[in-house]
A and B are shown apart, each in its own frame.
Chain A
Amino acid sequence: MTLSSARRIELFRRMLRLRNVELRIESLYHEDRMKTPVHLCIGQEAISVGVCAHLTNDDSVSSNHRSHGHYLAKGGGLNELIAELHCKESGCTKGRGGSMHLVDTAVGHMGSSSIVGGGVPIGTGMAMAYKMRGLARVSVVFFGDGAADEGVLYESVNFAMLKRLPVVYIYENNGYSVCTTTRERQAQELIFHQVLPNKMWTQTVDGNSLDAVNAAAATAIALARSGGGPSLIECKTYRVREHAGSGVDRTGKYRDPAEIERWETHDPVHGLRADLLARGLLDQKGLEAMEAAIEAEIDEAFRAAVKSPLPLDEDLTRYVYCED
């Protein structure tokens, strides 16, 4: 499925918005007003935007610790995200969950597991529920190469294949689990690439290309929606930033600075922007207006977050069990 020009511009806007939100988080992180660990997805924007573009609010996403992209691409509120990072009452979980546990049930962002691999069976179970309830919904599971080291991925995908569940596994292979490369941790590529196509449809794509992700996601999600069972898309990408926090370590401690630079020239946002400008789908003025609107929205989110109150102390022991 190829993108129309208007759709292409809109998806670029979403990627740019996500990028600029994270750049702002990064630039202000040292002020220590944001009180949560953050795992930035700078350089991976095409994946969450390209996949979520095919989902409705009834479809759900099961996310992980690197979750800002999944949350925003699924339609999660920006003000609520920024407030959550500040541990404020107006946050998406009222300042209880932080960056790794974002939730916006109204748009089908049903939470993230901060435990690597934890969200994989959960998203699989949600697909099982949709199938049992006869709903034409799709469950998307975002997981990284770290989760691909975990045994529960095997258990979950096997179950999804057995029961032909409407689930799409999006494997964001960004090359690193903290400081260890995927190659150093995995003896071979993900074993599920070898399953028979009638058990599960799989594809490997350039995760930094919106077009590639979009096309594969369109196929996978349509398949799930029409009862065709699970699918898995490996999106090859790169974690430009560090595992957590802000900045890039270019000292060569665990990765070659030249490798980082190479990937920076293959940046999904910059690449798409250049392409849109070159094709005349967007001009400099239009781009500036787009960026200004995004910046204004981010300004407002940070202003509101700072002003919002902290969670109440009296609430500390609430919501352990149901209170109704």
Chain B
Amino acid sequence: MVQGINLALHEEMQRDPKVLVMGQDVGVNEGVFRVTAGLHAKFGETRVIDTPLAESGILGTAVGMALAGLRPVAEMQFSGFSYLALGHLEGHCSRYRARTHGALSVPLVLRMPYGGGVRALEHHSESREAMFAHLPGIKVVIPSGPRNARALMTAAIQDPDTVVFMEPKHSYRAFREDVPEEPELMDIGKAHVVQEGSELTVITWGAMLRKTLEAVSEVQAKREASVEVIDLLSISPMDTKTIAKSVRKTGRCVVVQEAPRSFGTASEVIARINDTALMYLEAPVGRVASFDIVTPYFAREQNYFPGVEDIRRGMIKTLDY
């Protein structure tokens, strides 16, 4: 996935001289996770800008650059560090367009690694996508593999609005996947039906997709259940149509999220199922999620994030209801 995102950055910087990358250590050092590898050497320090460690300053400056006609891609080293920059996301990115009735907008990408995977505690491992998705005017995108990461990053850079691009660091180097030679673009706001099925819908995103697919094959192997799997890809706007269509067909649904259980994206998915497919349900919509606590320190991390077994149990419970 690191290479997929990196490829999109190279392609977009090549295509459009207005695109630039900024953040701490993104230049000479090529980023903590090497997502910006090769950019500094190729495009120079004018367009690959090493900034001070100043999250609020980074995003606030990026807002000004976007207003002045550039297309900044700003990096936060970990999503947990972005809270110091939230004021600009909430106060400017989310509302410049509405406030000026379309006269001005803030087309920037805020990209950041999020979620578990490096066994570091708290801010280094959190999933706060719901917090960003709650802001009107902001798009929140989460890829799940190298190919969609590249296509979605391309779309995010070309998008006329602010896109928060959250990179599941657990998937950074988890697996390989071929990507097409030619640049590829995916629509933001569209979910992907990973596999079709007729008895249960499992909705997930980010690093949870791989665990979900493992759990699904276990369940399928044991009891021949026909399971449909949806990868949300875009948290906001959310693809209600694809969700509704699937749940109306299967009548059963489980939502799997890495984030804490309450007030999250899963809750929103369930609310939309309520709005669009309630009368088709044969069981309450299940939720598999982390606990409502701060991401714990090293030793207990594995007990915190939903594992394959948790997902499998959640599926069985809903299937047997």
Contacts and interface: CB of A to CB of B under 8 A. Distances in A.
Interface of A: 60, 62, 93-94, 96-97, 101, 103, 105, 110-111, 113-115, 118, 120-130, 132-133, 139, 151-152, 155-156, 158-159, 162, 315, 318-324
B92 A132 contact: no
A156 B61 contact: yes
11 contacts: A93-B99, A103-B100, A111-B104, A121-B61, A122-B60, A122-B92, A126-B68, A132-B47, A319-B102, A320-B137, A321-B237
Contact of A105 (B46, B61, B65, B103): B103
For the side of the interface on B, what is the size category?
35 or more
Contacts of A111: 67, 96, 100, 104
Contacts of B237: 321
A118 B104 contact: no
Given A111-B96, A318-B98, 11 more contacts: A113-B92, A114-B91, A118-B91, A122-B64, A125-B66, A152-B57, A156-B57, A320-B98, A321-B139, A321-B160, A323-B102
B104 A121 contact: no
A155 B67 contact: no
Top 5 closest pairs, chain A to chain B, by CB: A125-B64, A121-B60, A155-B57, A129-B68, A125-B61
Q: Which of A60, A123, A125 has the most B CB atoms < 10 Å from its CB?
A: A125
A159 B22 CA distance: 12
A121 B103 CA distance: 20
Contacts of A113: 91-92
Contact of A118 (B67, B87, B99): B87
Contacts of B103: 93, 103, 105
A280 B128 CA distance: 67
B190 to A, nearest CB: 15
Contacts of A315: 101
Contacts of A151: 56
Contacts of B104: 103, 105, 110-111
Contacts of B51: 159
Contacts of B97: 319-322
Contact of A128 (B61, B92, B139, B160): B61
A321 B68 CA distance: 19
B8 interface: no
Contacts of A318: 98, 101-102
A127 B61 CA distance: 9
B67 A126 contact: yes
A173 to B, nearest CB: 22
A21 B59 CA distance: 35
Given A62-B64, A96-B98, A322-B161, A129 B56 contact: no
Contact of B60 (A125, A319, A320, A322): A125
B99 A152 contact: no
B233 to A, nearest CB: 17
